Amino acid sequence: MFPWLSNHPQHLANFQAMMDSRYTNPRTWFDVYPIKERLISGLAAYMHIQPRPTKDSDVLLVGIGGSIGSDMFRFMDYLDAWWIESKGKAIEIPAGRIRFVLQDLPAVVEKIDCDALRRKHYKINSLFEFQGHDFFDVNPVKGARAYYIHAVLRDYDDDECTKILVNIRKSMKRGWSRLLLQEWVIPSSGANFRATRTDMAMMALNSRKERTAGQWEALLVVAGLKIAEIYEIDRGFESLIEAEMA
């Protein structure tokens, strides 16, 4: 479906607008995930001595299959006023030194009006770049702090998911990089009908499915990853699964 969409600009734009329209839920992944402890604190130490971040390991977040960046821009907006505590002092994280990479299929990125997005988000100080990348290839950004992928794996079967996950894992740095997977985590019993209905819809539309925590864990294990923690965003529906190298 996605390669087809990328060759049909009007349908692609409609699809992107539809995905963007979901962002009405005031709660999102960074409301439940301890960003400061898990992502930011490790970066703080050298941010003050580095004039300008250029290395892959300076990238805070790689947004994989990120479309027009609705998640990423929201996060960057949030980070623009970020303070952390270091050695008993409150220090400001200079947003201008935080790097983000937004990836999608090359044919999709080519059609995104990147300049218009930059203008729309002109208040954001973080450094961000758009990158064409097919997630069935190894991720070109090596050793980033986090790799974020939202509402993508539900569109794929287990074998395809394993390939996508292995391609991310190959670029992760042990003990540093994290995988942040935002997906529905369906309870194994007593699931809400909205969740089971969507599971049926995924089957009818794509021959795909929603997954339980056990099914996510099994997928990650096969890909050489392990779950660190699952953070519920919307109980019984969306969660953020944090994983690291096994």
Ligand X SMILES: C[S@@+](CC[C@H](N)C(=O)[O-])C[C@H]1O[C@@H](n2cnc3c(N)ncnc32)[C@H](O)[C@@H]1O
Binding of ligand X at residue 104 (CB under 6 A)? Answer: yes
CB of 2 to ligand X, least distance (A): 3
Under 8 Å between Cβ of 242 and 230: yes
When asked if residue 152 is in the footprint of ligand X (CB under 6 A), the reply is yes
> Closest separation between CB of residue 47 and ligand X, Å?
27
Q: Does 151 bind ligand X (CB under 6 A)?
A: yes
Please list, in sequence order, all residues whose beta carbon lies within 8 angstroms of the beta carbon of residue 22, skipping any fewer than 6 positions away: none
Of the candidates 238, 200, 242, the residue with the CA atom closest to the CA atom of residue 26 = 238
Whole-angstrom distance, CA of residue 36 vs CA of residue 82 = 9
Which strands, in side-by-side order, build the sheet including 238-245? 127-132, 99-104, 59-64, 146-150, 178-184, 238-245, 225-232
Residues 171-230 that bind ligand X (CB under 6 A): none
Q: How far is the CB of 61 from ligand X (least distance, A)?
A: 12
- Residues 60-89 as x/- pattern, contact with ligand X by CB under 6 A: -----xxx--x-------------------
Q: How far apart are CA 59 and CA 54, in angstroms?
A: 8
- Helix and strand counts by DSSP (H, E) for the chain: 11, 9
**Which residues in 4-33 contact ligand X (CB under 6 A)?**
19
Interface size with ligand X, residues (CB under 6 A): 16
150 binding ligand X? (CB under 6 A): yes
Comparison of 43 and 179: residue with beta carbon closer to ligand X: 179
Q: CB-based burial of residue 121 (10 Å sphere; 0-12 exposed, 13-18 middle, 19+ buried)?
A: middle
Q: Does 136 bind ligand X (CB under 6 A)?
A: yes
Q: How far is the CB of 150 from ligand X (least distance, A)?
A: 4
What residue ranges bind ligand X (CB under 6 A)? Answer: 2, 19, 65-67, 70, 104-105, 108, 134-136, 150-152, 155
